[in-house]
Chains A and B, each alone.
Chain A
Amino acid sequence: MTEAKTLYEKIWDAHVVDQRNDGTALIYIDRHLVHEVTSPQAFEGLRKAGRKVRRPDLTLAVPDHNLPTTARVDANGNKIPIADPQSAAQLEALEANAPAFGIKYIGASDREQGIVHVIGPEQGFTLPGTTLVCGDSHTAAHGALGALAFGIGTSEVEHVLATQTLQLSRSKSMEIRVEGLLGPGISPKDLILHIIGVIGAAGGTGHVIEYRGEVFEQMSIEGRLTVSNMSIEAGARAGLIAPDEKTFAYLKGRPMAPKGADWDAAVAYWKTLRSDDGARFDKSVTINAADVAPTVTWGTSPEDVIPVTGHVPAPESFTDPSKQDAARKSLDYMGLASGQALSDVAVENIFIGSCTNSRIEDLRAAAKILDGRKKAEGVKWAIVVPGSGLVKAQAEAEGLDKIFTASGFEWREPGCSACLGMNPDKVPAGERCASTSNRNFVGRQGPGARTHLMSPAMAAAAAVTGKLTDVRELIG
């Protein structure tokens, strides 16, 4: 009998090009997504050394991080220039580098443009069993389709462009098994925030997480993308969910996915991609789905989560002295007092978007809450930023944009937007934002900005009441 393997081991073993005796291996990379921020110096390096891109046919470039989300072309169809000269220079560099190195480029005003991690799956570029990298830490998202996907730095981007490989050491494997199903009104975002709360922001360090259990089998691919996306916030290198019929149905007919006989061969292979019975994980954690409530963050680490029905914890309630200290600093930064009911916390800004929650199901969930309602008086700024041009078009076809604008939201062009303070969409210092993004770090949404992470439905509920709100009260 052959040895029982985890899904991670199967993908890893299928990609070893060369094994070194120090335990590291040269791993083949099947897919490389390139964006404007982490690639310019990599292309410059290639040029200086006179090197080519080894496999432009496995590489896809798209701008997203610092592209403004306001209109990109004027009424006459002319491109509107980007005001920030550095952002404009990064965009121009990608626009020039992609064709110069023979890489397919989706431009800022193309219909298919969007956040790297939204368009990879959407185009069928991301496939089960492949290794996929991108110079952005939330690359873990693609693990939702059963791809081994992780973020890399600029030197590694250059290394992959030149050689289509990376020298890596094998991670440990971690199983997160969720027992039972989620209650009504509880979303995949609540689940992953809850999981990070349980295992901690460093709980997955050195590991690749495989999410297992019926809840994931029942979950849509978009929900799985939300979960896997935040694996990195638990410190993990990558997240994985075994591909199944749902994955195949999601991918079938996508532009870059295999067709005809190739499709059948692919599915036959993908069906072998699951952890064998008896496969050994280095670490196993069990989570009870019934424990998951609508969840929000109160601090400045994604592990700082509590049910929205709860109260801000007292720093002394943590056993670890360094966590006590961090909690004190967090509360100070967030302008919160221990013991305060979360439902009393007012928010001035709402951001629905980012690669975590900007797909069509996310927008539907938010629109369902906002339909026929208006944002509260105290909410000054509320934006919806679809993850891609195709998501935007789909939402418009369903009339979701009308619901958003009628309730007082701005309907934007696709991009990373207020997920990070790199483009014009920023949260003002000292103000709060109910945000569907993935990081609540100090200054992440702009200097002094106070981020509360939550699901799209919860962000919509906060917009309606002007406070952190249990969305279940609005779905009654």
Chain B
Amino acid sequence: MKPVRKVEGRAIPFGRKNVDTDVIISAKWLKTISRDGLGEGAFEAVRAQEGNVFDDPEYAGAPILIAGDNFGCGSSREHAAWALDDMGVRAIIAPSFSDIFSSNAFKNGLLAIPLPQAAIDRLMEVAKTDPITVDMESMSVTTPFQDRFTFEMDPFRQQCLMDGLDEIDLTMAKSDAIEAHEKSVDSDQSWHKPVMA
């Protein structure tokens, strides 16, 4: 995974509460074979509406999304994180996230940044005209107008995101222990492997 130390740029002022994963990517996109290309289906129903923020040229290529409470609720589909990533979003700022969504976001190197509603309200304003910066080192979100909001994150997750370590890397670092387990099974349980022709 790519390390993420800082995300800087325009932010899409979406602001909606209870955005469920079906809104992020609808069920018809689930029969895919790749994580790539899902950006095309992201927020499809919202985009069908005239004047939506996602198709506003002002926010084209914006790496940050601002939303309301309980972002990513509903079905556990990991496709939601893949779709956001594929549309170029690197960080989502919202008052709260569903547990499954935050874990899926983390697994895919997306930042899910929790900030109080008052901070969200201010950032929604700034986003209309100016860029926003999310800094993982100082755990803060700043604007060109001296706003500074700090957020909290599990230190383990913070480190993994900053170093670009995914869960597989972390487990692979324990390959000695895995090998030791395999060796002991090989010697104690000769019957263990499936007989494959």
Q: B119-143: which residues lie under 8 A (CB-CB) from chain A?
A: none
Q: B66-102: which residues lie under 8 A (CB-CB) from chain A?
A: 76, 78, 82
Q: Does B197 contact A (CB under 8 A)?
A: yes
Q: B172-197: which residues lie under 8 A (CB-CB) from chain A?
A: 172, 174-175, 177-178, 180-182, 185, 189-197
Chain A interface bracket (under 10, 10 to 19, 20 to 34, 35 or more) = 35 or more
Which residue of B is nearest A94, CB measured? B33
Which residue of A is nearest B193, CB measured? A57
Known: A31-B194, A41-B35, A153-B78. A51 touches B178 (CB 8 A): no
Q: Which of B104, B107, B195 meets A259, CB within 8 Å?
A: B195
- How far, in Å, is B154 (CB) from chain A's closest CB? 10
When distances are taken between beta carbons in the complex, the residues of chain B under 8 Å from A31 are: 194
Q: Does B168 contact A (CB under 8 A)?
A: yes
When distances are taken between beta carbons in the complex, the residues of chain B under 8 Å from A259 are: 195
A-B contact count (CB 8 A): 102
Interface centre among A17, A90, A158 (most CB of B within 10 A): A17
Contact B107 A41 (CB under 8 A): no
Which residue of B is nearest A15, CB measured? B181
- How far, in Å, is B193 (CB) from chain A's closest CB? 6
Contact B32 A265 (CB under 8 A): no
Known: A28-B178, A41-B82. A165 touches B191 (CB 8 A): no
Contact A256 B195 (CB under 8 A): yes
Q: Does A220 contact B (CB under 8 A)?
A: no
Q: Does A159 contact B (CB under 8 A)?
A: yes
Which residue of A is nearest B36, CB measured? A44
Known: A17-B177, A153-B76, A265-B189. A256 touches B196 (CB 8 A): yes
- How far, in Å, is A60 (CB) from chain B's closest CB? 7
Encode contact with B along A150-179: 1 for CB under 8 Å, 0 otherwise: 000111001100111101000000000000
- How far, in Å, is B97 (CB) from chain A's closest CB? 17
Contact B171 A159 (CB under 8 A): yes
Contact A18 B174 (CB under 8 A): yes
Q: Does A258 contact B (CB under 8 A)?
A: yes
Q: Which of A40, A66, A265 meets B190, CB within 8 Å?
A: A265
- How far, in Å, is B180 (CB) from chain A's closest CB? 8
Contact B35 A17 (CB under 8 A): no
Q: How far is the CA of A155 from the CA of B141 in the complex (A)?
A: 29
When distances are taken between beta carbons in the complex, the residues of chain A under 8 Å from B33 are: 40-41, 44, 89-90, 93
Q: How far is the CA of A411 from the CA of B32 in the complex (A)?
A: 30
Contact B31 A163 (CB under 8 A): no
Q: Does B167 contact A (CB under 8 A)?
A: yes
- How far, in Å, is A248 (CB) from chain B's closest CB? 12
Q: How far is the CA of A184 from the CA of B37 in the complex (A)?
A: 55
Q: Does B34 contact A (CB under 8 A)?
A: yes
Q: Which of B34, B175, B191 meets A40, CB within 8 Å?
A: B34
Q: A30-54: which residues lie under 8 A (CB-CB) from chain B?
A: 30-31, 37, 40-41, 44-45, 49, 51, 54
Contact A26 B35 (CB under 8 A): no
Contact B191 A60 (CB under 8 A): no
Q: Does A125 contact B (CB under 8 A)?
A: yes
When distances are taken between beta carbons in the complex, the residues of chain A under 8 Å from B177 are: 17-18, 26
Q: Does A266 contact B (CB under 8 A)?
A: yes
Task: Pick 7 A–B contacts, CB within 8 A, sort by A.
Answer: A41-B78, A51-B168, A58-B193, A125-B194, A155-B107, A159-B167, A265-B189
Interface contacts beyond A41-B34, A54-B178: sample of 7 additional A-B pairs, CB < 8 Å, sorted by A: A40-B33, A45-B35, A57-B196, A90-B33, A130-B192, A159-B168, A422-B31
